[in-house]
Amino acid sequence: MAFRKTIKMITPDSAKLTLKGRKNMSKQVIFHEGYYLEYTSDPAAKTGRMEAIMDELTDFSVITPSPATIEDVLLVHSEEHLVRVQNDYDQVYKCALLAVGGALLAADYAYNQQPIFAAIRPPGHHASPDGYWGFCYFNNVAIAVRYYCIQKQLRNALIVDFDLHFGDGSNNTFRNDPLVTYYAAEGTTPNDFIANLIDFLAQMSEVDFLAVSAGFDRHEADWGGLLSTNDYRSIGSILKTYSEDHGKNRRFACLEGGYNHSVLGKNVRAFIDGFY
């Protein structure tokens, strides 16, 4: 199988900044105007969702990714899976390739010790090697992690998922892979949730790479009804500290869930404030 060439680093000076007023800013986010497209009728694709995030990040420079290649997708998914998405959902297929491209670019920044958040869609953590559901089609984070495990011969990697829903696709991808640990954070109260995350990280050994499936649907005003906006800031800070102390300062996060547009942008902003 042919593998993707090493991604050329895109800096704020060389990136295509497609949104007005986004130049000469020290903070960065990965985003593409193609993510605004309402590619299906599901909640993750709804109009206004990405606008809610980007309207909150007006002081960030925007770094635009390119679509992933077929070879990238095949690092995790079967050819039958890819063809099924392409044949059944032409518009989704194009958006999904762009989302994978955003995750790959985020991983490139992370590998070079530049923490970053990718505001991408469709989400991905429910996409398994040969199946998909839950608004997900290709597993963005899993593809990016596997690409870097192969390309950079990483010793190990950790995926932390704080979405409301268990990332069965990510778990199915890596459950027999000794290089990658997948952890889905859980808790019945906000304090339990944060404590469980801290306890898990305290038991983890050193890793070469930290990837985060960042879902915001556990917010108290979203489907999960549990976490506050400040809790997301705390989660970001906890992951930052772990990455700096035990993960070679290599970390990136990709958007998964989060469906209440009135709070989504603030939650993403709070997480980034802690994570960067």
What digits encode the pLDDT tens for the residues 28-72? 999 999 999 999 999 999 999 999 999 999 999 999 999 999 999
What digits encode the pLDDT tens for the residues 122-151? 999 999 999 999 999 999 999 999 999 999
Structural domain spans, the chain? 27-275
| Greatest pairwise CA separation for the chain in angstroms | 46
pTM score, whole prediction: 0.91
Quote the percentage of the chain above a pLDDT of 90.
88
76-90, 225-239, 242-256: which has the minimum mean pLDDT?
76-90
Single out the residue of 108, 116, 113, 114 nearest to residue 145, CA to CA: 108
Report the topology of domain 27-275: Arginase; Chain A (3.40.800)
Across residues 195-201, what is the average pLDDT? 98
Handedness of CA 7, 11, 13, 16 (dihedral sign): positive
Give the distance from CA 114 to its chain's centroid: 15
Structure token digits, residue 160: 């932390």
Helix (H) or strand (E) holding 211: strand 210-214
What digits encode the pLDDT tens for the residues 61-95? 999 999 999 999 999 999 999 999 999 888 999 99
Structure token digits, residue 275: 């994570």
Cβ-based neighbour number of residue 37 at 10 Å: 17
Structure token digits, residue 131: 């199946």
Residues that are catalytic: 126
